A and B are shown apart, each in its own frame.
Chain A
Amino acid sequence: MNQAIRHSWVAAIAMFALIFGAISYVQVIGADELKANPWNQRAILQNYCNDRGAIIVGGSPVAESVEGTSETCKFQRTYPQPEPYAGITGYFSQNFGATGLEQAMGEVLTGNSDQLFLDRVGQLFLGNQPKGASVELTIDPEIQQLAYSLIPDGQRGSIVVTNPKTGAILAMVSKPSYDPNQIATQDPDAETANINELLKVPGINLNPNVSGPTGELLAPGSVYKLVDTAAALASGKYNKDSVLPNPAQMPFEGIQYTLPNYAGGNCYTRDTAGFAFALQQSCNTPFASIALDLGRDAIAEQAEKFGFGEDMGDQLKLDYARGNGFPDDLDAPGLAQSAIGQKDVRATPLQVALMTAAIANDGVQMRPNLIKALRSPDLRVIDEPQPQQLRTSTTPEIANQITEWMVSAVSEGIANRAAVPGVQVAGKTGTAELGNGTNNSWFTGFAPANNPQVGVTIVMEGVDITTGAQLTSPNAKRIFEAVLNK
Chain B
Amino acid sequence: MSQLSTTPKPRRNVELALLLLALAVGIGANMLVGVDQEKAFDSDFWFQSSLLAVAALVFHGVLRFRAKYADPVILPLVVALNGLGLAMIHRLDAPDADTGNNQLRWTLIAMAVAIAVIWFLKDHRVLRRFTFISLAASALLLILPLIPGISAGEILGARVWIRLGPMTFQPGEVAKITLAIFFAGYLSSNRDLILLAGRKVGPLQFPRFKDMGPMITAWLVSIGVLIFQRDLGSSVLFFGLFIVMIYVATSRISWVVIGLALILGGGFAASRVFSHVELRISGWLNAFTPEVYGRSPGGSGQIVQGLFGMANGGLVGTGLGQGRPDLVPFANSDMIIASLGEELGLVGLFAVVLMYLLLFTRGFRAALGTRDAFGKLLACGLSFAVALQCFVVIGGVTRLIPLTGLTTPFLAAGGSSLLANWIIVGLLLMISHTARGPVDTTPLRPGEATESMGIDTPTEAVKHS
Contact = CB atoms under 8 A, between A and B. Distances in A.
Nearest to B294: A39
Nearest to A48: B324
B388 interface: yes
Given A8-B244, A18-B391, A35-B311, A27 B353 contact: no
Q: Considering residues B247, B308, B313, which has the most beta carbons from chain A within 10 angstroms of its beta carbon?
A: B308
B46 interface: no
A23 B310 contact: yes
Interface stretch (A9-17, A186-194, A412-420): A9-17
B314 A27 contact: yes
Given A5-B380, A26-B341, A31 B314 contact: yes
Given A1-B249, A8-B247, A19-B353, A27 B308 contact: no
Contact of B247 (A4, A21, A27, A30): A4
A16 B350 CA distance: 10
A8 B377 CA distance: 11
Contacts of B456: 1
Given A23-B350, A27-B346, A27-B349, A12 B398 contact: no
Contacts of B357: 13, 16
Interface string B359-388: 011001001100001001000100110011
A25 B345 CA distance: 12
Interface in B300-331: 304, 307-315, 318, 323-324, 327
Interface class of chain A by DSSP:
helix
B98 interface: no
Interface residues of B, number: 53
A23 B293 contact: no
A15 to B, nearest CB: 4
Contacts, number: 137
Given A4-B248, A23-B353, A26-B399, A12 B394 contact: no
B460 interface: yes
Given A18-B395, A19-B394, A4 B251 contact: yes
Contacts of B346: 23-24, 27-28
B400 interface: yes
B390 interface: yes
A23 B456 CA distance: 40
Contacts of A3: 251
A37 B387 CA distance: 32
Contacts of A26: 307, 310-311, 341, 398-399
Contacts of A45: 324, 327
A42 B387 contact: no
Q: Considering residues A4, A22, A34, A45, which has the most beta carbons from chain B within 10 angstroms of its beta carbon?
A: A4
A30 B460 contact: no
Contact of B308 (A7, A22, A32, A34): A34
B395 A22 contact: yes
B64 interface: no
A20 B353 contact: yes
B350 A5 contact: no
Interface in A125-181: none
Contact of B391 (A16, A27, A28, A34): A16
A37 B308 contact: yes
Contacts of A9: 360-361, 364, 383
A269 interface: no
Q: Considering residues B250, B356, B394, which has the most beta carbons from chain A within 10 angstroms of its beta carbon?
A: B394
A19 B390 contact: yes
B188 to A, nearest CB: 10
B324 to A, nearest CB: 6
B335 to A, nearest CB: 13
B464 interface: yes
A23 B349 CA distance: 8
A26 B337 CA distance: 12
A1 B310 contact: no
A41 interface: yes
A5 B380 CA distance: 7
Contact of B327 (A5, A12, A42): A42
B309 A5 contact: no
A34 B309 CA distance: 9
Nearest to A21: B400
A479 B93 CA distance: 58
Contact of B387 (A15, A22, A40): A15
Given A4-B248, A4-B251, A22 B394 contact: yes
A318 B137 CA distance: 67
B464 A2 contact: yes
B327 A16 contact: no
Given A15-B388, A22-B399, A34-B308, A2 B353 contact: no
25 contacts: A1-B249, A1-B454, A4-B250, A8-B364, A9-B364, A11-B244, A12-B360, A12-B391, A15-B395, A16-B357, A20-B353, A22-B399, A23-B353, A26-B310, A27-B315, A31-B311, A34-B311, A35-B308, A37-B304, A39-B304, A39-B308, A40-B308, A42-B309, A45-B324, A46-B323
Complex A-B, nearest 3 residue pairs according to Cβ-Cβ distance, in ascending order:
A34-B311, A22-B398, A12-B387
Given A5-B368, A28-B315, A42-B308, 13 more contacts: A3-B251, A5-B248, A7-B247, A9-B364, A16-B356, A18-B391, A23-B310, A26-B311, A27-B345, A34-B307, A40-B308, A41-B327, A42-B327
